[in-house]
Amino acid sequence: MPELTRSIKIVWLHAVGCTGCSISTFNSTYPHAPQILLEEILPGIRVEILFHSTLMKAHGSRALKPVREAAAGRFPFLLVVEGAIPVGPQSYLGGIGGGKDLPSLVEDLARHCTATVALGTCAAYGGLAAARPNPGQCRGVWDFLESRGLEAAVINLPGCPPHPDWVIGTLAAVAAGRFDVTRDLDDELRPVMYYGTLVHQWCPRRASFDEGKFAKKLGDPGCLYELGCKGSITYGDCPQRHWNNRVSWCIGVGAPCSGCTQPEFPDWLGGFQEKITDVQLPTIGEYWQQRRERGR
């Protein structure tokens, strides 16, 4: 018996960002980019991207046709927003065309989509786009939608950039009807399956930390804590998953974790090469809990 194909339509919008999230997503190995774009990502499961300005063939108003239709609620779709939402006066000159500024377009689409994926730390929490002094007056998607009185289902996939497995895994789970936003997200609206543990927890240099063996300069063996590593306060499964076909990752080459999945990135974690100062180091898994209780 032929398997029924489950398919999910996606409108993928670039707001204030750098396209790094797209680049990272299409670094996926299993499934690889051509499978995502041309075939099924799993037998019977298709991700049908209707609009993605970096990849699509069409241009101008023809390219925008699926966006117009989606914003009018013609069909169910998942909205992927890459980059933060600019709400300052400058934003009203910009956009993707069709006579609509970015904030209004995002609002219209969010009103009709089944769920919104805030892809990357900028979309999730403002990220680098909203870094001090926040020149474009940018906000994360959830924050922005709330300010417009919209209570939309938002899935945050932070990371600067997010790992391709986090993105494709989440999209596939949603497409397959196996994702439940009330069950599978943490307090920061991140899928627990990918963001459930501290980088510190499974870090290969953890033994050095426990024994107090710290690297004093770049290239030294030992824990990178004193060189500014934010792994002890950052959630993500990087130490187990590794990056780019799982060949390596930040701490794997001796570079301190920059805390790029955190809502606090980049302003509230301290300088990237400065040792964390404001914490008693957390018991694994409790740090953000404590901070929340203190009201950060």
Interface residues for other proteins in 237-256 (CB under 8 A)? 243-245, 247-256
Q: How far is the CB of 182 from other proteins (least distance, A)?
A: 32
Q: Which stretch binds other proteins (CB under 8 A): 53-61, 141-149, 185-193, 198-206?
A: 53-61
Candidates 45, 80, 106, 129: give the one binding other proteins (CB under 8 A): 129
Decide whether 52 or 200 has the Cβ nearer to other proteins: 52
Contacts with other proteins, 206-225, as mask; x by CB under 8 A = -----------xxx------
**H-helix or E-strand spanning residue 34:** helix 33-38
Task: Give φ, ψ of 230 to 5 degrees.
Answer: -100, 15
DSSP collapsed to 3 states, 58-122? CCHHHHHHHHHHHHCCCCCCEEEEECEEECCHHHHHCCCECCECHHHHHHHHHHHCCEEEEEHHH
What are the backbone angles phi and psi of residue 262, rounded to the nearest 5°?
A: -85, 150
Q: How far is the CB of 181 from other proteins (least distance, A)?
A: 26
22 binds other proteins (CB under 8 A): yes
Tell me how far apart the alpha carbons of residues 187 and 167 are, in angstroms, rounded to a whole number.
19
Side-chain half-sphere CA neighbours of 224 within 13 A: 23
| 236 scored as a contact of other proteins (CB under 8 A) | no
Cβ proximity to other proteins: between 268 and 286 the closer is: 268
Residue 203 is a binding residue for other proteins (CB under 8 A): no
Q: Which residues are catalytic?
A: 18, 21, 122, 160, 200, 203, 223, 229, 238, 250, 257, 260
HEC secondary structure over 230-245: CHHHCECCHHHHCECC
- Closest by alpha carbon to 186, among 292, 47, 265? 292
Is 5 a binding residue for other proteins by CB under 8 A? The answer is: no
Residues 156 to 185 in contact with other proteins, rule: CB under 8 A = 160-161
